[in-house]
A and B are shown apart, each in its own frame.
Chain A
Amino acid sequence: MRKSIIVYINGVRHELEGKAAFETVANYLRYTKGLTGTKVVCSEGDCGACTVLLSRFDGEKMGRVRTINSCISFMYLLDRCHLITVEGLKKVDHLHPVQEAMMKHHGAQCGYCTPGIVCSLASMTEDAINDHIEIDDKKVKNYLTGNLCRCTGYEPIIKAGVATDLEKVSTFSSLYGHAEMVKEFKELSSVDVAIESQNKKVFLPHSYQALFQHGNHANMKVTSGATDLGVLVNKGKIDLQEIVSLNNIQESYQIEDSSKEIIIGAKASLTDVEKACEKDFPEFSKKLHVFASPQIKNKGTLVGNLVNASPIGDTIPFLRVSGAKVVLHNGTNSRTIAIDDFFLGGYKELDLKDDEIVTKIILPKNNYEFKLYKVSIRKDLDISSVSMAIAYKMDGDIFTDFKIGIGGVGPTVMRISSIEKAIIGTTLDQNTFKKVAKLLDTEIKPLSDIRGSSDYRKLLSHNLLLKFCDEVIVESGKTLSEASV
């Protein structure tokens, strides 16, 4: 058992015990290390000013450097990682080419978002070199979805990103040389970590077996990416006292892809899920694209989003209509249940016992077509007003199967079976859908809140169903004489 975490920061080894391990990464950097380049604005992972770069030891080597929000990440989650901050981008007096481009193209005005922006762009250049990707406007925007800037209107930053001289970029592994940390981390692979400070405890088992040996009980919070928990802690809404993190369980990161299904481990990041689903679930992959920022997706997990069970959880409508299965474990027994049985109907009410954790989600390849919708005040990186997923099969013009899940209109993401029944067996037809959509009037009773009034949410659900119909008509090669709205 180790009583400290080991993390390299800008190439320098750090061993943290006690209180320091429980600090947010941003606070540790700023107030303990004096690395004040990393800024904190929102403390909730929504602005990106705190963006830093993280490379995790994957059992063999240091993994790809990816961005995370340091304000909602805790130091204990960084065991066996290399953390690179804005201060670590330049070597001696050699600026990173992204930094040079940002200066030249007036990408920085007030400078407060700049360190985060520079880190996000640096991760883009890292991917571009490793994956041989060309950089264009669209790429740059995708890497900056998680970074707010209030001064520039982004245009100069996009220019800087596109103008970055990739030939001058040295990858972080060549900049820092990872041999030494890999050697040390390998030796630590089969050791559990437990840290205590005052009333707080964190346990980082190296395997599921170790996790269950240690025991899992109601007072203990199991965390994976902590992208939601981090916010709750920062905003004083929760006081985490006993934490178990899946962070050091290498097998939990796995995604297995077979001809029949994709099995997604509890710690597989949404970034990896987005990639893994590109071929068989392209609609889902595309939705994950606008789901959240790269920073959040690099940390957040599909299992986390499921277990958090928010009625506006963006992946849940898809999971509910895709026939996904949930794998649960309590150390002695394992059970696999259908996603519809996992949700018990009430607000955050799940068939998840105190001693159980979700270890996997199974996505069966059932040859459904999918259409996924998400409507929010802002298109990207925003919480839904309404989200909708439809899985369907057609034989010519006739719907042979139809499943619909809607989020944001009730205490949980809902399947609407009356609509499903009404559609199955009918022909693709605007009037049918107009009639069927009326069923929503009695089926859903959304709340009014900051993301939309009850009436608006009803109208949205209604119109999304019509939109689905119109889109399928257009995609089937027919002409749409007039839209349904």
Chain B
Amino acid sequence: MSVGKNIKHDSSYGHVTGESIFVDDRAPVLGELFVGVVGSPVSKGRLKGINHKKALAHPSCVGVYTAEHLSAKKWGAIFHDQPILVDEEIGYMGEPLCIFASSRREDIEEIKTLFDFEIEEEKPIYTIKEAQASDSFVYKAPKPFAQGNVEEAFKNAKHILEGTFIVGGQEHFYMESQACCAYPMENGQIEVHSSSQHPSETQRVVAEALGLPLHHVVCVVKRMGGGFGGKESQAAPIAAYAALVSKYTGKPARLILTKDEDMVITGKRHPFENDYKVAFDDEGKIEGIKMILRSDAGAYSDLSSSILERGMFHADGAYFLKNVHIEGYAYRTNRHSNTAYRGFGGPQGNMTIESVIEDIAAYLKKDSFEIRRKNIYQGKDLLTPYGQELENNMLPALFDDLYKSSDYQRRMQEIIEFNNKKTGKLKGLSMTATKFGIAFTARFLNQGNALVNVQLDGTVQVSTGATEMGQGVNTKIQQIVAHAFGIAADDVQVMTTSTEKNHNTSPTAASSGSDINGAAALDACNKIKARLSELAKLVFAGKESNDLVEYEVGKGSIDADIVFTENKVIQKSTQKEIALKELINIAYFNRISVGAYAFFKTPGLGFCKNSVEGKAFNYYTQGVAATEVLVDEYTGEMKVMRTDILMDLGRPINPGIDRGQVTGAYVQGMGWVTTESLFYDEKGHLISHSPTTYKIPNVQDTPREFHLDFISNDDNDCNVHRSKAVGEPPFLLGSSAWTAVKHALSFRSKEGVVNLTSPCTGEVILGELTRLKSGH
């Protein structure tokens, strides 16, 4: 049986041979044009005029297109406030002002330099503080998440710590930059092949930009070279640019951003600056905590409201907070419009409380594990700040198991002894957790559909709205379908995602791709199996069909007595069996459908943010990580020496793929909090716009010793095959590298508390060490 097996990724052969086709690998079409994007030279201002005479005079330049060519001027994932091309107000440095078409790929860079703009420059806002001072918002959470009485807790508190937790943004650094090919079709239709996590949104934005009805636009997504949230909303305007050129020229158009352009134009993970005040007792038990989350949304709203809310949803981390008050504000600044990124605000919320707990431990001179263990959700303390009870709580078992398996106690003792020796090196060890809520918090997005076609040779094609970006959603769907029919995974092909087969799809996001689309695919399989089961019973019963009499099965029904296994259909009670392929052919000749479309919605969800009540999440994926770091006191350099991770993934559909999701997410999270530093000059240019200047983890940065295990959990009965979503939750564990640095530095702090910002580059660490030693 296929589900639960560690089978290979369904694209792995193409990937290792270089045969997999990405957008820019598509064969050229005669007459194809290449699209260039021209960005704003200022961070804020009014666009008064575009002089494109010189560009148009270039022999390769076919046309220049501005906001005037657009049928709809604005787009937006939630609120339509972002210009597709700037028509008047410029929101950020590098924002697309116009596009052009070139007959030659190699002339794009040259043509780009041939534009002049008339702009009235205005004073930009670059920081959360500046935005706060000018009351510049994109969103305020309508109601705080609150339980108990936090002010009362502060009054009675034995100890209080307060401060601001500051964490930077993060570039997605998907390897394949934003890309799209647009093809004009008959009858005014257009087909876009996009590197998009959200084909339906891409379809809609293209249709609106071009003034086309939706049935004239098809968006096709074969695969992405990485997404991580960066292609959830942001693929859409890119596709609209290519489509716009196609519309006006009647030619196919290809738009492939360079890495530098992509990093400048597109938004990133939101930086946050979160104020906190926490009250706790002598043992480190949190009595009350107030957190005010402030995010830098950038120039437009994009998904910032939902991201802020997910930050608030995860500000409790893994910890029960009896008296709690969480507020949230998303500020408008003149930066690229920040967007979805793996974790979707969750990491920024979660890391705040992990930082606070690390401080509490250092302040009380206690082991942070002890403090965490005391505060986690356990026993009857299961109520979250937003009123949902934590069900299927694995946190105590996760913490206790990893404590043992990582040899935490002995290592902590050794670290204390080592640090007391003053060798010029410091070690740190910290265990943090993830308790990630699974479901889109916008309820309507928790829907999906699937199309399953069984072919006469017994092989199956399945199509869903899920998009493959490396995470293995296609492989999991392949396994679910193969499992359903009792056939080999190789006999199931997951087809290219396309809005003409699956419409009104949700983005492949919120870690939910396999949950929603897998469940829809399973439902479609079950519809076919119901008919085939009914048919099998007729066949086994010896009923005949001939030219005059047909088998009739109607909707059929699933029957526990009929099993599909090893390419056969077996009636258990009679031990009769028939080859699946034969049964399918009988169905075909008796005019019984062996294809099905199914629709799935996650049941039981509904959360009202105005009243803060209801069920926001279907379930939680949980896990813990213990990270040990070594810090060089001379230079501030740090190295992750060992990481132990224990994850609760229910019953994984593919343990191998899930392992890769966990190691990948952890290292990406580690990069976010250590070396990935976004750097802007005073004019607002992003200076770290390529891998020379923006440092994602390298193979040498991976933990020297890396242990990963899954805890056994058979009880997640609210998801397909009792599996759990895996994409985002382990990302939050990367921050244990940062809390471990805090732990290491606390040995040089008189009062214990360490003021570390994230990412903790060598400069940040050395700066804080210097401050701690000077006693200021």
Instruction: Name which of B222-230, B477-485, B596-604 contacts chain A.
Output: B222-230
CB-nearest residue of chain B relative to A290? B700
Chain B residues positioned under 8 Å from A378 (CB to CB): 675, 695, 697-698, 701
CA gap between A39 and B259 in the complex, in Å: 12
Knowing A112-B226, A150-B226, A450-B687 are in contact, say whether A380-B700 is a contact too (CB < 8 A). Answer: yes
Q: Which of B212-220, B467-475, B493-501 contacts A (4 or more CB under 8 A)?
A: B467-475
Closest Cβ–Cβ distance, residue A230 to chain B (whole Å): 13
Interface segment out of the listed A140-148, A165-173, A325-333: A140-148
Which chain A residue has the least Cβ–Cβ distance from B767? A456
On whether the beta carbons of B675 and A377 are closer than 8 Å, the reply is yes
A36 within 8 A of partner (CB): yes
Partner of B177, one of A31, A41, A466: A41
Using known A-B contacts A109-B660, A109-B664, A151-B470, determine if residue A377 contacts B677 with beta carbons closer than 8 Å.
yes
Assuming the contacts A150-B668, A157-B699, asked whether A106 and B659 have C-beta atoms less than 8 A apart, the reply is yes
**CB-based nearest A residue for B635:** A375
A467 touches B677 (CB 8 A): no
Contact of B692 among A44, A149, A157 (CB under 8 A): A44
The answer to whether A110 and B695 touch across the interface, beta carbons within 8 angstroms, is: no
The proximity string for A residues 274-291 relative to B, scoring 1 for CB distances below 8 Å and 0 otherwise, is 000000000000000010
Chain A: how many interface residues by the 8 Å CB criterion? 85
A252 to chain B, nearest CB (A): 28
Complex Cα gap A30–B174 (Å): 20
User: A41-B259, A87-B18, A155-B663 given as contacts; is B762 within 8 A of A144 (CB)?
Assistant: no
Interface residue A104 (Cβ < 8 Å from any Cβ of B): yes
CB of B469 to closest CB in A, whole Å = 6
Q: Name A140's closest neighbour in chain B (CB-CB).
A: B699
| Chain A positions 451 through 485: 1 when the CB is less than 8 Å from some CB of chain B, otherwise 0 | 01100100110011011001000000000101111
Which A residues between 108 and 160 are near B, CB-CB below 8 angstroms? Answer: 108-115, 118, 140-141, 144-145, 147-158
Smallest distance from the beta carbon of A202 to chain B beta carbons, Å?
A: 17
Structural contact, B175 and A41, CB atoms closer than 8 A? yes
Q: Does B79 contact A (CB under 8 A)?
A: no
A99 to B16, CA, bound (A): 5
Whether A111 and B11, one on each chain, are in contact in the complex, defined by CB atoms closer than 8 angstroms, is: yes
Chain B residues whose C-beta falls within 8 Å of the C-beta of A86 in the assembled complex: 16-18
Q: How far is the CB of B42 from the nearest CB of chain A, in Å?
A: 21
A41-B259, A466-B634, A467-B635 given; A385·B18 CB < 8 A:
no
A44 proximity list for chain B (CB < 8 A): 690-692
Whether the Cβ atoms of B423 and A483 lie closer than 8 Å is yes
Q: 1/0 per residue B756-776: CB within 8 Å of A?
A: 000001110011011000000
B-contact bits for A182-214, CB 8 A (1 contact / 0 none): 000000000000000000000000000000000
Report the number of A-B residue pairs with Cβ-Cβ less than 8 Å. Answer: 247
For the complex, is B235 an interface residue (Cβ under 8 Å from A)?
no
B8 contacts A by Cβ under 8 Å: yes
Closest to A381 in B: B698
In the complex, what distance in Å separates the CA atom of A462 from the CA atom of B769? 15
**Cα distance A55–B13 in the bound complex, in angstroms:** 26
Given A235-B260, A385-B763, CB of A380 within 8 Å of CB of B701: yes
Alpha-carbon separation in the docked complex, A361 to B470 (Å): 47
Whether the pair A42, B690 counts as a contact (CB closer than 8 A) is yes
Which residues of chain A have C-beta atoms less than 8 A from B700's C-beta? 141, 145, 290, 379-380
| Residues of chain A in range 12-28 having any CB-CB distance to chain B below 8 Å | 27
Chain A residues near B172: list those with CB within 8 A.
150
**B109-A236 in contact (CB<8A):** yes
A154 touches B667 (CB 8 A): yes
Q: In this assembly, does B208 line the interface, its C-beta being within 8 Å of a C-beta of chain A?
A: no
Which residues of A58-90 have CB atoms within 8 Å of chain B's CB atoms?
85-87, 89-90
Instruction: Choose among A46, A104, A110, A231 the residue that contacts B470 (Cβ–Cβ < 8 A).
Output: A110
How many whole Å from B27's CB to the nearest CB in chain A? 7
Q: Which residues of A contact B264 (CB under 8 A)?
A: none
Q: Please give me the residue from chain A that is nearest to B17 by CB atom.
A: A90
In this assembly, does B275 line the interface, its C-beta being within 8 Å of a C-beta of chain A?
Answer: no
* A443 close to chain B: CB less than 8 A: no
CA distance A259 to B6 in the complex (A): 57
Docked-complex contact A111 and B667, CB < 8 angstroms? no
- Given contacts A86-B17, A464-B634, A148 and B696 within 8 Å (CB-CB): yes
B611 within 8 A of A: no
B405 within 8 A of A: no
B16 touches A109 (CB 8 A): no
CA distance A265 to B707 in the complex (A): 46
B679 interfacial by beta-carbon distance below 8 Å? yes
Residues from chain A with a CB closer than 8 A to the CB of B174 are 110, 112, 150
B688 within 8 A of A: yes
Tell whether B329 is near chain A: CB-to-CB under 8 Å.
no
Given contact pairs A37-B18, A385-B763, A450-B688, A152 touches B175 in the complex (Cβ within 8 A): no
**B680-710 at interface with A (beta carbon < 8 Å):** 687-688, 690-693, 695-702, 706, 708
Q: Is A423 an interface residue (CB 8 A)?
A: no
Tell me the minimal C-beta distance from B678 to chain A in angstroms: 10
Are B472 and A103 in contact, with the CB atoms below 8 A? no
Q: How far is the CA of A456 from the CA of B763 in the complex (A)?
A: 6
Contact between A106 and B228 (Cβ–Cβ < 8 Å)? no
Shortest Cβ distance from A143 into B: residue: B699
A102 at the interface (CB under 8 A from B): yes
Given contacts A109-B9, A378-B675, are A47 and B16 in contact (CB under 8 A)? no
Q: Which of A42, A90, A109 contacts B691 (CB 8 A)?
A: A42
- The docked-state distance in angstroms from the alpha carbon of A464 to that of B632 is 11
Contact with A along B447-482 (1 / 0, CB 8 A): 000000000000000000000011110000000000
B663 touches A153 (CB 8 A): yes
State A200–B177 Cα separation when bound (angstroms): 30
Partner of B660, one of A39, A144, A156, A482: A156
In the assembled complex, how far is the CB of residue A69 from the closest CB belonging to chain B, in whole angstroms? 12
Chain B CB within 8 A of A49 CB: yes
Min distance, Cβ B666 to any Cβ of chain A, angstroms: 6
Give bound CA distance, A37 to B18, whole Å. Answer: 4
CA distance A31 to B660 in the complex (A): 32
Q: Which residues of A contact B690 (CB under 8 A)?
A: 42, 44, 46
B22 sits at the interface (CB 8 A): yes
Is B665 an interface position by the 8 A CB rule? yes
- B423 in complex: contacting residue of A109, A373, A375, A480, CB < 8 Å: A480
Which chain B positions have C-beta within 8 A of A467? 424, 634-635
- Residues of chain A within 8 A (CB-CB) of B660 are 106, 109, 151-153, 155-156
Complex contact B663–A111 (CB within 8 A): no
B27: chain A residues within 8 A (beta carbon): 34
What separation, in Å, do the CA atoms of A56 and B365 have in the docked complex?
A: 62
The answer to whether A110 and B226 touch across the interface, beta carbons within 8 angstroms, is yes
User: Given A44-B691, A378-B675, A470-B424, A102 and B223 touching (CB < 8 A)?
Assistant: no
Known A111-B11, A466-B634; contact A379-B639, beta-carbon cutoff 8 A:
yes
Q: Can you identify 25 A-B contacts, CB atoms within 8 angstroms?
A: A31-B105, A36-B24, A36-B25, A39-B22, A41-B175, A44-B691, A95-B16, A106-B9, A106-B660, A108-B9, A111-B14, A111-B223, A141-B702, A148-B696, A152-B664, A155-B702, A156-B660, A377-B675, A377-B677, A377-B695, A379-B637, A467-B424, A480-B423, A480-B424, A483-B423
Listed in ascending order, the chain B residues whose CB lies under 8 Å from chain A are: 8-9, 11-22, 24-25, 27-28, 105-106, 109, 172-177, 223-228, 258-260, 422-424, 469-472, 633-635, 637, 639, 656-657, 659-660, 663-668, 675, 677, 679, 687-688, 690-693, 695-702, 706, 708, 761-763, 766-767, 769-770
The 7 tightest CB contacts between A and B, nearest first, are A37-B18, A110-B470, A112-B225, A153-B667, A111-B15, A483-B424, A109-B470
Beyond the given A148-B691, A155-B660, please list 7 additional residue pairs across the A-B interface where CB-CB is below 8 A: A36-B24, A46-B692, A87-B18, A147-B699, A152-B660, A153-B665, A463-B634
Interface residues, chain A, with chain B CB atoms under 8 Å away: 27, 30-31, 34-39, 41-44, 46-47, 49, 85-87, 89-90, 95, 98-99, 102-115, 118, 140-141, 144-145, 147-158, 231, 235-236, 290, 373, 375, 377-383, 385, 450, 452-453, 456, 459-460, 463-464, 466-467, 470, 480, 482-485
